[in-house]
Amino acid sequence: MKLNKLLSIFLASVIFVVSLPVKNAKADVQIPIAKLNANKVFQEIDGFGVSQSADVYGNQIYEHHKRDKLMDLLFSNEKGIGLSILRSEVGNGLNMPTIHPDKDTWDFKPYEPEQWVMNEARKRGVQTFMSTVWSPPAWMKTNNRIVRGGRLKEEYYQEYAKYLAEYVKGYKKHHNIKIDAISIANEPEYAAFWQSNLWSKEEFRKFVKEYLKPTFVKEKVDAKIIVGEEGTWTDKRLSSIYEDKGAIDSVDIIASHYYRGRPYVFEGAKKNNKKIWLTETSETILRGTGFKDGVKWSRYIHDFLTRADINAFIFWLGAAYKNNNESLIRLVDKDNYIDAKRLYSFGNFSKFIKPGYKRVEITENPTGNLHLSAYKNDKTGDFVVVALNDGQNNETIDLTFEGVKLNKLTPHITNDKYNLEKFPSQYIDDNTARISVSGYTTITYTGNINDEKQQNKSYRIYDNLDNWDKIHSKSGNWMLEAYNPYNAFDNDFSRARRTRLSRENIVYKLENMKDFDAVIYYHIALQGLDFEISSDGQNWEKLDYMYDLPMLTGGYWEKINVRPKKELKEGTNYLRITFDKGGKCWDKHLSLIKIR
């Protein structure tokens, strides 16, 4: 008997705890806060790019039957990801012709695939052309070969300096293409079986100081000089240049590749006020082309921008016949291609952060797997925030602003469902924006200091479904749900949902309704959602409604804002929301409704 009594007391306690208003759980949730400080400025961005006009890859895209579409995807800001840098190869006679086939010959006949790629990229908005030497012409080298390393013969240092000067001048004179920057070596540590040439740190120092820079000055060549470009993210081979003022003054850009290592700041470059470029990276193994690969590359780009303070990020290949992940677009045959998700994740940066933008301070990792970076353009007043979530849970924060007042942010989303999809702007209240980023998603938010402030609507009913106090009536099978898997409901711990797979409704009453805005979450597919209006609560008329693109949250849930297609008719006093159909009783949730 005593045991039964104790059990009854225990069960009553459990029922009491479970029955506590979910409003309390909701009120206790602390939304993480991130701050953007527009007054604290870091590096200037020079751009984002690919090496499309190098080796055989210019020819591959040139001969593709959909080459214009491919170029649009890579370089057009309207139709693609808007890359601003094109990296080319200084041809050496293998796969691409050389301008200097022997000591006595200079040949500037155009190589049509390369010229076509360069000119088409420029038409689409590319602003910066850089060229890298994989190998000098064979006759200048110790091994008399273009491949498998070898070194530049010291007796040809001056000839090589002249060769680079003539390349820059000749491309302008004969092809009307301005080479903005030139790199003297590609992966100088590796005697590769493709075009390659070895350089030591002392050879680098001597050549740029004593030969290349003086020749550029004499020939009035204004192309920037790039050194480095090792396969591992490092600048150790440049230590002799850092230690020699004449040598470091001869260099404009310190560059490296990223196939190994980790992102860190090149302190020698920063100390001497030199730009830092990541000029090549990719994966040489076969991995997926889907959304997880995409957000992984968002994180790589983010880390190099925020941890290595780079000024430019250049992926290896734009489009190529590769059975691995060396390109953003995998060419299948001359009529078909696969646009990998990493193309669009790259676009979350390249399409919006243009040359001249400056990175500004923002809380980098405010919560969970959410990572933020921010940029501004002082001339135009544009601001960009890139938010990436490389985990599976939806992440929600409040973003505050210091040193700038923005009235709205427009999201552009890349994930499993969307490719740089533009969503409706969200307006900012009290200089704070509520941001939610679903799992494995990259979102670029854009705003401008001159954007107009939203004229707030005045709603007479504002029901966030913490309780049933504001409804007029409801059918019998409803509950207020607090469960929030994957944070799919943006930290909302009280929502109305059915308890049975049956047709259920909620009714609101308000004299002479004009409009409403309802936030609905649904699982995988939306079925059986109806809105009806009535003047007397007896005779109902089905309402045509609309919503913007569904936004993925977490765990296959999606969020929509529903509103009527036109203002409600005069004399509307009742609004009925009906949940019907679906595979599960819990497949739709009403999170918020505002009625005016």
Q: What is the pLDDT of residue 335?
A: 98
3-state DSSP call for residue 382? Answer: strand
Domain final residue, candidates 419, 448, 477: 448
Q: Domain with 441 in it: what CATH number?
A: 2.60.40.1180
Q: Strand 253-258 and strand 421-422: pairing? A: unpaired
Percent of the chain's residues with pLDDT above 70: 95
Give the count of beta carbons closer than 10 Å to the beta carbon of residue 191: 15
Q: Which residue, among 163, 173, 111, has the nearest Cα to 137 in the 3D structure?
A: 163
When mean pLDDT is compared across 51-65, 152-166, 452-466, the lowest value belongs to 452-466
- As a whole number of angstroms, the distance between CA 214 and CA 201 comes to 19
pLDDT 10s digits, 1-43: 433 433 343 333 333 233 223 333 344 678 999 999 999 999 9
On whether residue 13 sits in a domain, the answer given is no
pLDDT at 284 over 50: yes
Is the same domain home to 419 and 481?
no
Q: Which residue, among 114, 215, 135, has the nearest Cα to 183 in the 3D structure?
A: 135
Domain final residue, candidates 317, 352, 387: 352
- As a whole number of angstroms, the distance between CA 406 and CA 409 comes to 8
Is the same domain home to 264 and 164?
yes
Q: Domain with 477 in it: what CATH number?
A: 2.60.120.260
Q: What is the pLDDT of residue 6?
A: 39
Global pTM reads 0.94
Domain final residue, candidates 421, 448, 475: 448
Is the same domain home to 172 and 285?
yes
Q: What is the pLDDT of residue 28?
A: 61
When mean pLDDT is compared across 8-22, 225-239, 528-542, the lowest value belongs to 8-22
Total number of domains constituting the chain: 3
Where do we find the tokens 């045509």? 544
Is the same domain home to 374 and 516?
no
| pLDDT bucket at 287, cuts 50 / 70 / 90 | confident
Q: Which residue, among 522, 524, 352, 523, has the nearest Cα to 422 in the 3D structure?
A: 352
What amino acid occupies position 319?
A
Is the same domain home to 379 and 511?
no
Helices (H), 229-350: 239-242, 245-248, 267-271, 291-307, 341-350
Residue pair 529/578 in contact by the 8 Å Cβ criterion: yes
With both helix axes pointing from N to C terminus, report the angle between 112-123 and 67-75 in degrees, rounded to the nearest 10. Answer: 50
Is the same domain home to 346 and 440?
no
Q: Domain with 313 in it: what CATH number?
A: 3.20.20.80
Is the same domain home to 475 and 444?
no
Strand partners, 592: 519
Is the same domain home to 148 and 265?
yes
pLDDT at 291 over 80: yes
On whether residue 15 sits in a domain, the answer given is no
Which residue segment(s) compose the domain that 389 sits in? Answer: 33-40+360-448
pLDDT 10s digits, 343-388: 999 999 999 999 999 999 999 999 999 999 999 999 999 999 999 9
Where do we find the tokens 């002249």? 162
Instruction: Dig out the tokens for 244 from the structure.
Output: 């020699």
Q: Which residue, among 137, 130, 134, has the nearest Cα to 99 in the 3D structure?
A: 137
On whether residue 63 sits in a domain, the answer given is yes
- As a whole number of angstroms, the distance between CA 272 and CA 109 comes to 39
Is the same domain home to 266 and 312?
yes
Range list of β-strands (E), 391-544:
395-402, 408-414, 421-422, 426-427, 432-437, 441-448, 461-463, 473-474, 478-481, 495-498, 504-509, 516-523, 529-534, 541-542
Is the same domain home to 202 and 73?
yes
3-state DSSP call for residue 410? Answer: strand
Is the same domain home to 319 and 302?
yes
Average pLDDT of the residues in 501-526: 98
pLDDT 10s digits, 188-203: 999 999 999 999 999 9
Q: What are phi and psi of 522, to 5 degrees?
A: -135, 155
Q: For all residues of the chain together, what is the average pLDDT? A: 94
On whether residue 572 sits in a domain, the answer given is yes
